[in-house]
Amino acid sequence: MTQPATSLRLVMMGTGTFAEPVFSALLDAGLQVVGLVTQPDRAVGSERSTTRQGQRGMQEIARSRGIPVFQPESINTPEGVEGLKEFRPDLLVVAAYGQILSKDVLGVAPQGGINVHASLLPKYRGAAPIAWAIYHGEKRTGVTIIRMSVYLDAGDILAQEALDIGPEETAGEVEARLAPLGARLAIDVIHQIAAGTTHGTKQDKALVTKAPKLTKEHGLIDWGETAAQVCNHVRAMQPWPTAYTFLHRTGAQPQRLIVLKAASQDAGGQAPGASGSAWSPDGKSLLVWAGDGQLVEVRELQPAGKRRMTATEFLRGHALQPGDRFGPPQS
């Protein structure tokens, strides 16, 4: 059903692959988007996490539709606030913007701001909710629209919808499904705000969990974890920072490997090796002992400076020997 038109002046605030579908949907819905605030252009790989923007899609979307763009280093400076005021917004619509908004920023818009957050709040407050949900083995996640406050992801819930996480889905794949859902919910809430029919629900503080921003160091695999946890880790760290480990061989320097696909495998009664011990029973499959005595089958990997490859391709040039093992750089 077509939503009635609204005269609210909206400013979109967001960066990267989760925000892009939300921004496009607001424009396609015919809402009055008067400006885009997004992060400054950065070299690819320098500031990633949930606000990765290698394609600079937000700016391209804005410029193709004649929407003015504002890219302050910090929106919370006096210069940032003054720049935002020039748009004369009624409501801020925020999705993965990458900065916590101050009281002064939220006060620019008479209706304040709403945030499109990729988790079932109050779980996974923070910059990387999808990755941490997968890392912790969650079977479901979703999108929550909240009324923004000066506290991180703590505002009243205005809308929420859940979806299942597939057993092999990566964070990037889940994000691609959540973004359109977030866009639809945001548009519904915007119309409710315009009509004065929103009803907020307080978050239960006892259920709060955190989802801090990812760093490259978060990618290091701990083979002392269970096999299932290691596999969750691999999925959670894609597309960035990616899960990695080091192959240790007698008489050789540790070799850094990015692990791209992995699956847990029952050890089938085999006597467990030390966690991180590598094993290739047929010369084609790559198995690693995890901390629970179960096996992780590494299916795809990427040696430093090389292309992505299957375990079989890797083992053709790197036949495993007794004592070979995976672990941190110094192991």
Q: How is the chain split into domains, by residue range?
A: 9-207, 216-327
pTM for the model: 0.93
> Residue-wise pLDDT tens for the chain (331 aa)?
445 557 899 999 999 999 999 999 999 999 999 999 999 987 544 444 444 444 459 999 999 999 999 999 999 999 999 999 999 999 999 999 999 999 999 999 999 999 999 999 999 999 999 999 999 999 999 999 999 999 999 999 999 999 999 999 999 999 999 999 999 999 999 999 999 999 999 999 999 999 999 999 999 999 999 999 999 999 999 999 999 999 999 889 999 999 999 999 998 888 888 999 999 999 999 999 999 999 999 999 999 999 999 999 999 989 999 999 999 998 6
- 8 A C-beta contact, residue 31 and residue 8: yes
Domains 9-207 and 216-327 share a fold: no
Rounded Cα–Cα distance for residues 263 and 310 (Å): 13
pLDDT given for residue 6 in this prediction: 73
pLDDT given for residue 5 in this prediction: 55
Phi, psi at 65, each rounded to 5°: -110, 10
User: Which H or E run includes 24?
Assistant: helix 19-28
CATH code at 9-207: 3.40.50.170
Rounded Cα–Cα distance for residues 131 and 222 (Å): 16
133 to each of 75, 141, 232, how far by Cα in Å?
29, 7, 9
Phi, psi at 258, each rounded to 5°: -85, 130
Question: At CA 239, angle to CA 235 and CA 244, rounded to 5?
Answer: 65
Rounded Cα–Cα distance for residues 43 and 2 (Å): 41
pLDDT given for residue 43 in this prediction: 56
Query: Residues near 243 by Cβ (< 8 Å), separated by ≥ 6?
Result: 219, 220, 221, 233, 234, 236, 237, 258, 259, 260
pLDDT given for residue 7 in this prediction: 87
pLDDT given for residue 53 in this prediction: 46
pLDDT given for residue 46 in this prediction: 44
What pairing do the DSSP bridges indicate for beta strands 69-70 and 32-37?
Answer: parallel
38 to each of 99, 117, 148, 190, 325, how far by Cα in Å?
10, 16, 17, 20, 44
Q: Which CATH superfamily is domain 216-327 in?
A: Formyl transferase, C-terminal domain (3.10.25.10)
